[in-house]
Chain A
């Protein structure tokens, strides 16, 4: 899979505090979740991508550009939905979104037409001429998404986009993100500490803890693996058990003191018990546990 971001030994510090510790990452195209607790370095990573922070150590390339020397070229191709509110006082949504487009390099007429389009898309069509000061939190989040989408970026960065939103608003926001990434092919990086947000919208997840990557995996793989891989340990003829399981269509791998079994598609864990029953007393199972680290496991480890 093509990488949109590559970092080698990326280190970032704020004064004496090191926030990113030599990150070596290849972020694939598609929708990627950046998961981690507060202080994990997610926002710093996004700032590094945007070239807002110098790169004192290591290297960072984004969409083929060097994040340090070509920051402005990168920002032309990126749309950012910042974590905190960012409103320009005295404007309405159309003016602010148009202005955002002009700052990126769109002509005024193009930016204005496009502003109406994206404001309708994010559900602010009716409220687009209202003063921003009267917007609810959910409306502000949508507006931030609109200003990020106005120039149709190649990469959309979302920093905690569902912060402060009520459940229906959160669902709608995630639906919008899912649509631009899955249906329209836009690359998305979703930075969040909410696991369900990543599960709902992303294809790939990177878990950060204290500025280090603790897990990188496909979300789809995690969903497939969940409930389908088991570790068996016990006594007796484990080789015979392995053969029997393979014959039944399961994938079997030998591990220390036992077997790791990936159950055949469309079957449940009871399929293993069927094989065990046929083997009778030749095998005595003393350990039967779901194997493999789920996304939940990685996240729990990161936040604990």
Chain B
């Protein structure tokens, strides 16, 4: 245990010029959450799901005929399999976005900590990227990374040029789609977290705005008006539509995926605009 002089001592070190000023926010946010047992258990469950996907793929690639003989059916081991594997992760996107993200900005607003951040060399963008980075870390750990490992596993157990030719582009598409998915889920959550203060209310609002809570309403409006574009209000649905398109899987005929992509871009822009509006370095009470 070092013994410190009681009087004030000057510090002779040098401050680092960080190109990524938001990195300490990501680091602190992740380190605050990660050691908690409940998050470790959930991370483990997310990975178990992917282990099952890997086992299924192994069965398909190494004993496809046997599998069909036993179960009477089989599945495509090409890019659509990886899309299905990635898309199955949406449950973890929902769980981790709500658990990690709902308090990220709200807690700072409750503790009036924004003034602490903005008295440091941190811009609003740095703050937003930092907080988004915390959510992104957990979502990447539960969606992108394990799915990528399943792909590597597939390449390792079936190193034929024909199979590789079918799935070589999957990591790129997976990365782009994961970025879109993480940004959409994360930014919408931060926007809600910057608006409300109670975690439960934030979680419910996010579920509604992200699309899941809208589905019955949207379906009803679509049925009444007979206009499919109402479906564009469902961000989760848009993500699914775009993902299926990129991976070459079956897409919903009602709305063209390009329109879904535009709707997602609009949603992202709106969420970011709202977030910047709500995160004020100075709270003025007139």
Contacts and interface: CB of A to CB of B under 8 A. Distances in A.
A104 B121 contact: yes
B15 A151 contact: yes
A32 interface: no
List of 6 A-B pairs having minimum Cβ-Cβ separation, nearest first = A105-B15, A152-B11, A80-B119, A102-B24, A103-B120, A72-B121
Given A47-B282, A102-B24, A184 B8 contact: yes
Contacts of A15: 286
Interface string B121-135: 111000000000000
Give the dominant DSSP class at B's interface: loop
B10 interface: yes
A82 B120 contact: no
In this complex, the interface size class of chain B, counting residues with CB under 8 Å from chain A, is 35 or more
Contacts of B15: 76, 104-106, 151
Contacts of A265: none
Interface residues of A, number: 52
Interface of A: 14-15, 17, 47, 50, 52-53, 72-73, 75-76, 78-80, 82, 84-91, 95, 99-100, 102-108, 110, 113-114, 116-118, 120-121, 125, 147-149, 151-152, 176, 179-180, 183-184
Nearest to A17: B286
Interface in B1-31: 2, 4, 6-11, 13, 15-18, 21, 24-25, 27-28
Nearest to A120: B4
Contacts of A180: 8
Given A82-B115, A99-B24, A125-B4, 17 more contacts: A52-B281, A73-B121, A76-B15, A85-B111, A90-B32, A99-B28, A100-B120, A103-B117, A104-B120, A105-B18, A105-B121, A116-B2, A151-B11, A152-B11, A176-B8, A183-B7, A184-B8
Interface in B94-115: 107-108, 110-115
A117 B112 contact: no
B281 A152 contact: no
B120 A86 contact: no
Given A120-B4, A179-B7, A14 B284 contact: yes
A82 B119 contact: yes
Contacts of A152: 10-11
Contact of A147 (B8, B112, B116, B121): B116
Interface of B: 2, 4, 6-11, 13, 15-18, 21, 24-25, 27-28, 32, 107-108, 110-123, 281-282, 284, 286
Contacts of B122: 72, 75, 103
Contacts of B284: 14
Contacts of A118: 8
B9 A117 contact: yes
Contact of B116 (A86, A113, A114, A183): A86
Contacts of B7: 121, 179, 183
Contacts of A82: 112, 115-116, 119
Given A14-B284, A100-B120, A103-B122, A184 B10 contact: yes
Interface centre among B8, B18, B113, B119 (most CB of A within 10 A): B119
Contact of B112 (A53, A85, A183): A85
B8 A105 contact: no
Contacts of A110: 13
B70 to A, nearest CB: 51
Interface centre among B4, B16, B111, B116 (most CB of A within 10 A): B116
A113 B12 CA distance: 13
A52 B32 CA distance: 28
Contacts of B112: 82, 84-87
Given A14-B286, A17-B286, A80-B119, A102 B28 contact: yes
B6 A121 contact: yes
